């Protein structure tokens, strides 16, 4: 196992996690119009938590994830499967954790048993939060299934371990979404199905995302769902939208569905997090 503990990056938390609030009034009014799902297969009393961003799961999002764990110094594990365990991305994760009072680690997926002496259960069920990297979502899903990581992530979710990420790290939790994981064009990818419906990341950053997402939902090829600009995201508690957040002014979240036979894109105004 390549479990890298932060040593040289540790600083005192700038603001900590305690001051985070829930639900902005404007967003709450809009969320009342969104479909919600109450899971019936929950195996524990823990709230099942997922925090996503359309792109850039940086310090403000990791700080919020840390707050959602409820721990004074939570263990946050980085899972960079989609990036093929990219070393630069791993370094950036530790840098993003540096201002925070967290214990960061990384679990690579391209491993061998001589040095990987702990099971996936031992690793992922012993932390408080798991951040999934961006990258190739399709390849990530295939590797997780082959390794059994998908099953362990489900156990982690059921136990209340906070899951999250951006791009591939946000797509993976939904039933389906739009991806650039295949050659030539954006296409549909199927995720783990922890969050019901569909998702489009990078909604403001890549010009092909918005028209394709609306087209697929309008035609019925894809379920209604949530689109996130880079730096904007959603906290889901037990599959219900609990809070819409942003780390950048102007970054927004949208609920895209079909109303009266036409595609409807409703803006979900986020709260700023820092």
174-193: per-residue pLDDT in tens? 999 999 999 998 889 999 99
pLDDT band at 14 (very low <50, low <70, confident <90, very high): very low
Report the pLDDT averaged over residues 229-241. Answer: 97
Kind and range of the H or E run holding 145? helix 137-147
> Which has more confidence, 40 or 139?
139
pLDDT for 70 beyond 70: yes
Q: From 170, 194, 65, 58, select the one nearest 127 (Cα to Cα).
A: 65
| Region of poorest pLDDT, from 14-18, 111-115, 128-132, 211-215 | 14-18
pLDDT for res 28 = 40
pLDDT for res 217 = 97
pLDDT for res 31 = 42
pLDDT band at 272 (very low <50, low <70, confident <90, very high): very high
What is the rounded CA–CA span in Å between residue 181 and residue 38? 31
269-to-29, 154, 194, 206, 207 alpha-carbon distances in Å: 10, 30, 24, 20, 21
**What is the set of active-site residues?**
167, 202
> Which has more confidence, 247 or 6?
247
| Region of poorest pLDDT, from 8-17, 111-120, 139-148 | 8-17
DSSP state of 93: H
Report the pLDDT averaged over residues 56-63. Answer: 98
pLDDT for 267 beyond 50: yes
SS3 for 170? helix
By CB atoms closer than 10 A (0-12, 13-18, 19+), residue 22 is: exposed
Q: Which domains does the chain have, with CATH numbers?
A: 25-32+46-272 (3.40.50.880)
SS3 for 175? strand
Mean confidence (pLDDT) of the chain: 87
* Contact (CB, 8 A) for 238 and 39: yes
Instruction: Mark 157-179 as b/e (b = at least 16 C-beta within 10 Å).
Output: bbebbbbbbbbbbbbbbbbbbbb
Report the pLDDT averaged over residues 214-224. Answer: 97
């Amino acid at each position: 196992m390549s479990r890298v503990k932060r040593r040289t990056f540790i600083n005192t938390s700038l603001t900590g996690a305690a001051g985070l609030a829930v639900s902005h009034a404007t967003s709450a009014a809009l969320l009342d119009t969104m479909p919600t799902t109450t899971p019936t297969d929950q195996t524990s009393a823990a709230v099942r938590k997922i925090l996503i961003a359309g792109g850039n799961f940086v310090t403000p999002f990791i700080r919020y994830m840390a707050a959602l764990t409820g721990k004074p110094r939570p263990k946050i594990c980085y899972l960079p499967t989609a990036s093929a365990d990219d070393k630069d991305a791993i370094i950036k994760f530790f840098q993003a954790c540096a201002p925070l009072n967290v214990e960061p680690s990384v679990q690579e997926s391209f491993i061998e048993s001589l040095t990987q002496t702990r099971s996936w259960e031992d690793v992922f069920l012993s932390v408080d939060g798991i951040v999934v990297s961006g990258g190739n979502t399709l390849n990530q899903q295939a590797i997780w299934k082959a390794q059994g990581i998908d099953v362990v992530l489900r156990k982690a979710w059921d136990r209340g371990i906070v899951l999250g990420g951006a791009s591939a790290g946000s797509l993976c939790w939904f039933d389906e979404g739009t991806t650039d994981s295949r050659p030539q064009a954006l296409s549909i990818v199927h995720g783990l199905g922890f969050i019901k419906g569909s998702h489009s990341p990078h909604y403001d950053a890549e010009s092909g995302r918005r028209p394709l997402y609306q087209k697929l939902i309008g035609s019925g090829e894809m379920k209604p769902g949530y689109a996130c600009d880079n730096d904007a995201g959603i906290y889901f508690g037990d599959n219900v939208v609990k809070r819409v957040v942003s780390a950048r002014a102007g970054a927004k979240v949208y609920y895209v569905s079909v109303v009266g036979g036409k595609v409807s894109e409703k803006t979900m105004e986020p709260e700023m997090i820092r």
